[in-house]
Amino acid sequence: MPHVRRTFAALAVTLAVCGAVAAEPLFTLGDDGRTFLYRARPGDHPSGVAELFGISSKDLPAFLAANGITDATRVGAGFVYRIPNDAARASSARVAALQADNTRLARVASEEKGRVQGLVRAAEDARAAAAEAEARAARLGRLETLWPWARAAVVTLLLLAVGAAYTAMAAMRRRGQAERYARTLTRELEEKRRSALSERQESARRILDLETRHRTLEAQLGPRVVISGRGGS
């Protein structure tokens, strides 16, 4: 918390003294949405800029390297610093994870569709077997001279027909279950897509809200002061 208070104190001093650039935004958002762009004012020092954006002293070397600064004493006014936007990066990572999950769900839905088609083919085969059994029973009915044998054959075929009908009914039930499961997966996929879109919109809204707050803070505090080129204290 002391570090946060020092950061806000430095920000307040900067906003209070730099009256010559009061109409200019403190920082802007990069085109990729993942970095802040800060144009150095007269008297700015890299360590002070890092502290202004909450970058700790242990992360200062990485910050300087990311901005291509080899000599902190030779960075003048007008230099554009690139500050990482961790919130936008986290949102991008969440969106990527959701997209991977959506791809996995689409693959599962495709596999379930193939299973449903297999069950439909099994039901059609069962119906064809039942029709064949009925045809055989009709032919045996015409063999009156061999009635005892024909009767036994008819009973056997009827049992086969019942078994085929039961198999067809079971296949139809499985098909219905598979279709319901596929619809459930489709709804989950759509919900995750909507959630990903909502998170992207919320991330953009927060970034715009942060810029609005900084502009409001600049307007309320009036002219800003120039920070002297001292270390990250």
- Rounded to two decimals, the pTM is 0.32
For 102, residues 6+ apart whose C-beta sits below 8 A from its C-beta are 189, 192, 193, 196
- 22 shares its domain with 131: no
pLDDT of 163 > 50? The answer is yes
Task: Write down the pLDDT at residue 125.
Answer: 93
Q: Is the dihedral of CA 142, 145, 147, 149 positive or negative?
A: negative
Task: Write down the pLDDT at residue 93.
Answer: 63
Quick one: average pLDDT of 156-175? 91
Q: Which residue range forms the structural domain that includes residue 33?
A: 2-84
- 49 shares its domain with 117: no
pLDDT by residue (tens digit) across 10-20? 444 454 444 43
Total domain count for the chain?
A: 2
Task: Write down the pLDDT at residue 225.
Answer: 53
DSSP 18: B
- 75 shares its domain with 129: no
Q: How many residues does the chain have?
A: 233
DSSP 197: H
Asked if the structure places residue 143 within a domain, the reply is yes
- 124 shares its domain with 137: yes
Task: Select from 57, 84, 111 the last residue of a domain.
Answer: 84
The confidence band for 57, taking pLDDT boundaries of 50, 70 and 90, is confident
- 187 shares its domain with 94: yes
Asked if the structure places residue 226 within a domain, the reply is no
Give the end-to-end CA distance of the chain in Å, rounded to a whole number: 15
DSSP string for 129-185:
HHHHHHHHHHHHHT-GGGHHHHHHHHHHHHHHHHHHHHHHHHHHHHHHHHHHHHHHH
- 11 shares its domain with 70: yes
- 100 shares its domain with 203: yes
Task: Write down the pLDDT at residue 86.
Answer: 65
Average pLDDT, the chain: 79
